[in-house]
Amino acid sequence: MSDKERLVIFDTTLRDGEQSPGATMNQEEKLRIAKALERMRVDVIEAGFAIASPGDFASVKAVAEAVKDCRICSLARAADADIDRAAEALKGANAARIHTFIATSPIHMKHKLRMEPESVVERAVAAVKRARNLVDDVEFSCEDAGRSELDFLCRIIEAAIDAGARTINIPDTVGYALPHQFGETITQLIARIPNSDKAVFSVHCHNDLGLAVANSEAAVLAGARQVECTINGLGERAGNASLEELVMAIATRHDAFPVYTNIKTEEIVPCSRLVSTITGFPVQPNKAIVGANAFAHEAGIHQDGVLKHRETYEIMRAEQVGWNANRMVLGKHSGRAAFADRLDSLGVQFETKEALNNAFARFKELADKKHEIFDEDLQALVSDTYRASDMRVKLVDLSVSSVMGETPEAEISLSVDDKEHSAKAKGSGPVDATFKAIEEIVNSGTNLLLYSVNAITSGTDSQGEVTVRLEKGGSVVNGSGADTDIVIASAKAYLDALNLILSDYSKAHPQSDGV
C-alpha cells in the first residue's frame, strides 16, 4: 500500500441523499446514520445544509457534537448568511469543514444566478475568504462543472485556491458527463491550474445516465483524491455515486487504482440496511454489493463452480462487505441492560428513562413473536418508537378480515390529536381496506405514489418493512413501518407518511438561487 495515495471518502447521504424526493430524515435518524458512517470510517460526513431550516441546523450541530472520528461538513451557498450559519452549526466539531459553492456553467450563470462570470468569481473568492476566517478547512465547488467551460473553471478555481480553499470539488451536477471526458477534465484542471498542488481535487457525480460511479472512477484515475458519494447511491433525482460501489471497486481492483480508502468494508451492508430502513427507500435486489441477490448464485453451473472453487464466479466475499453480519443479538430473555447496551453500540441513546422503557416494551412484544432479534430488527424498532412519539395521528387498534372469496374488510381506531376515532372500510385486499379505513377518518387528500414491502431479515417470522410514498400539493414524503404482521406494518407506514405531510417540513433547497 506504500506506493498508493489515500482517497478521501466524503459521504453526503445526510445532505444530497436527503434531497431525494421523500427521503427526509429527522435529527435522531441523521444521528444514527452519522454514527454508522463513523463506524465505517468515512473521512468526511456532509451532515446537512445548515441554513436550509432550523431542523437542518440542529442536525448538523448534533452530528458535529456527537461524531468525533470524522470531519463534519456543512454545505453553504456562496453567501455570507449561509457561511455564518454553517460555521455556527459546526462549532462543536472536532474537525469542521465548510463546503461553499456557486454555479459556473454558462446556462446556470445566465438563467439561474443572472450574474456575469466576473461577479461569480468575485463572489466565490469572497465566500472562500469568509469561510476561511471561520474554519481552517474550506471546500469550494463549481456547481454544474460538468457543463462549464474549462478556461473559466481554471480561472475560478485558481482564485478559490488563492483565497484559501483546500479542497476543490468538480460536480457533475446534472449527470451529463461521460467517463473518458470527465477524466480528461480532471487531468486538464490539475495540469493547467498553477496552484493546483495546494488543493485536493474532488468529484461529485450524479447518476442521471447511470454513470456516476464510472465518472468518479475515471476522475480518480486522472488524479482526484476525494470522491463524494452516498450510501445506496441515494441523492437528488437519479442519485449520487454509490459509496459501496466505489469503495469495493477500489478494494477489489487494487491492481488498477493508485489509491486506497480507510473504509471498514464489513460495515457496508449494515449501513446500507440502516439507510434503507430510515429513508424507506428499498434497495433493489440486483444492486451491486448491497442488493439481496448481489452474492446469490442461481444458475446450477455457477453454484457448482462456486462450491468447487469460490473464485470461479465470485470476485469479492459476501462477508467482506458485511453480509451475514446480522447475527442474532438478542432474544426473548434478554434484559433491559443488554437491550440498551446493544442499541448503544448502534449509536442509539435514549434521552429519558421513559423513552428507553417504551422501546424495551416494544422489544419484548417483538421478541414474543420472533425468536431471534437482529440488529436490523432493532433499527426498525427504534425508528418506529421515535416516530410514534411525535405523531399527531396514531394507530390505536386494527382488525382485518380476509377470507377467500369474500371482500376484505378493515376496522381501525386512530387517535387524532389525542381524540379517538374509528372507521370501517372494504377494499380489494387487506392493505387496501386498511388505507381506505384510515382515509375515512383522516380524509387527507393525498395521492399514494408508491407502496412496497420488504422482509427485514430472512425467515417467515421476519418483520415486513413497508414503504408508503404520498404526495400532496407537490410535496412528496416517504413513510415506513415495520411489524411481523405486514398489514399492521402497512398501516404504520401510511400513518408515518401522513404525519410527515401534516408536519411542517419546508426548507430551502441548496441549489435555489436565493443567495
Site string for ligand KIV, 70-109 (x = CB under 6 A): -----x-------------------------x--------
Residue 344 CA to residue 330 CA, distance in Å, equals: 14
- H helix and E strand count, the chain: 16, 16
Residue 24 CA to residue 496 CA, distance in Å, equals: 12
DSSP secondary structure code for residue 325 in this structure = -
Residue 233 CA to residue 241 CA, distance in Å, equals: 5
Among 71, 123, 130, 204, binds ligand KIV (CB under 6 A): 204
Residue 390 CA to residue 50 CA, distance in Å, equals: 23
Is residue 64 a contact partner of residue 90, using CB atoms and an 8 Å limit? yes
Strand partners, 421: 414
Q: Which residue is nearest to Zn ion (CB)?
A: 16
Q: In angstroms, how far is CA 423 from the centroid of its own chain?
A: 37
Q: Coil, helix or strand for 48?
A: strand
| Residue 457 touches which member of ligand KIV, Zn ion, none, C-beta under 5-8 Å by kind | none
Contact residues for 68 (Cβ-Cβ < 8 A; gap 6+): 38, 94
Of 334, 389, 312, the residue nearest 358 (C-alpha) = 389
Interface region with ligand KIV, contact rule CB under 6 A, candidates 169-177, 280-288, 363-371, 397-405:
169-177
Of 74 and 457, the one with the shorter C-beta distance to ligand KIV is 74
Site string for Zn ion, 329-368 (x = CB under 5 A): ----------------------------------------
Of 143 and 217, the one with the shorter C-beta distance to ligand KIV is 143
| Residue 233 touches which member of ligand KIV, Zn ion, none, C-beta under 5-8 Å by kind | none
Interface region with ligand KIV, contact rule CB under 6 A, candidates 124-132, 165-173, 296-304, 318-326:
165-173
C-alpha grid cell, residue 485: 404482521
Site string for ligand KIV, 435-474 (x = CB under 6 A): ----------------------------------------
Interface region with ligand KIV, contact rule CB under 6 A, candidates 120-128, 166-174, 408-416, 419-427:
166-174
N-to-C CA span, the chain: 44
Of 171 and 322, the one with the shorter C-beta distance to ligand KIV is 171
Q: How far is CA 281 from CA 6, 148, 429, 452, 467, in A?
A: 31, 32, 23, 9, 7
To the nearest whole angstrom, how small is the minimum distance from the Cβ of residue 20 to ligand KIV?
A: 12
| Residue 101 touches which member of ligand KIV, Zn ion, none, C-beta under 5-8 Å by kind | ligand KIV
To the nearest whole angstrom, how small is the minimum distance from the Cβ of residue 46 to Zn ion?
A: 10
To the nearest whole angstrom, how small is the minimum distance from the Cβ of residue 403 to Zn ion?
A: 50
| Residue 100 touches which member of Zn ion, ligand KIV, none, C-beta under 5-8 Å by kind | none
Of 61 and 204, the one with the shorter C-beta distance to ligand KIV is 204
Among 48, 171, 430, 481, binds ligand KIV (CB under 6 A): 171
Number of residues that bind ligand KIV (CB under 6 A): 11
Among 11, 14, 16, 156, binds Zn ion (CB under 5 A): 16
Q: How far is CA 87 from CA 123, 132, 133, 163, in A?
A: 18, 10, 10, 17
Of 72 and 437, the one with the shorter C-beta distance to ligand KIV is 72
Number of residues assigned to the chain: 515
| Residue 370 touches which member of ligand KIV, Zn ion, none, C-beta under 5-8 Å by kind | none
Burial of 456 (0-12, 13-18, 19+ CB in 10 A): buried
C-alpha grid cell, residue 214: 464510472
C-alpha grid cell, residue 314: 465470485
Amino acid (1-letter code) at residue 34: A
Interface with ligand KIV, residue 143, by CB under 6 A:
yes
Contact residues for 12 (Cβ-Cβ < 8 A; gap 6+): 46, 204, 228, 229, 230, 235, 240
Burial of 291 (0-12, 13-18, 19+ CB in 10 A): middle
Of 181, 184, 227, the residue nearest 204 (C-alpha) = 227
| Residue 143 touches which member of ligand KIV, Zn ion, none, C-beta under 5-8 Å by kind | ligand KIV
To the nearest whole angstrom, how small is the minimum distance from the Cβ of residue 44 to ligand KIV?
A: 13
Among 11, 16, 82, 375, binds ligand KIV (CB under 6 A): 16
To the nearest whole angstrom, how small is the minimum distance from the Cβ of residue 175 to ligand KIV?
A: 9
* Site for ligand KIV, rule CB under 6 A: 16, 75, 101, 141, 143, 169, 171, 173, 204, 206, 510
**By the criterion CB under 5 A, which residues form the site for Zn ion?**
16
